[in-house]
Amino acid sequence: MKFAKALFGLVAATGVGALMGVLFAPKKGTETRKDLAKKQKEYEKKLKKEYNKTIDKVTDEIKEADKKVSEATQTVREEIKDKKL
């Protein structure tokens, strides 16, 4: 319970600090909003890139696993067939 309260306090303090920083920043609000929008787009591009890389990697791993399962299945079928004869 203490940890949860401490974590909540940390998150709340971070939020208040960020808000105060934006409110008392030396830039105009329009400039700050443009900067925030620009950063958002940069992070969005990075996130999409990482997402696509992850999807590609997972897809490759699934294909490799499917190949191994198919090979193992074929081996078992051949062994069963050999034992029946």
Q: Which amino acid is at 20?
A: M
State how far the Cα of 58 lies from the Cα of 2, in Å rounded to an integer.
Answer: 39
Give tens-digit pLDDT for 6-56.
Answer: 888 888 889 888 888 777 777 787 887 888 889 899 999 999 999 999 999
Render 55-82 in DSSP notation, one character per residue. HHHHHHHHHHHHHHHHHHHHHHHHHHHH
In this prediction the pTM is: 0.51
Sign of CA dihedral 7, 10, 14, 16: positive
* Residue 75: predicted pLDDT: 93
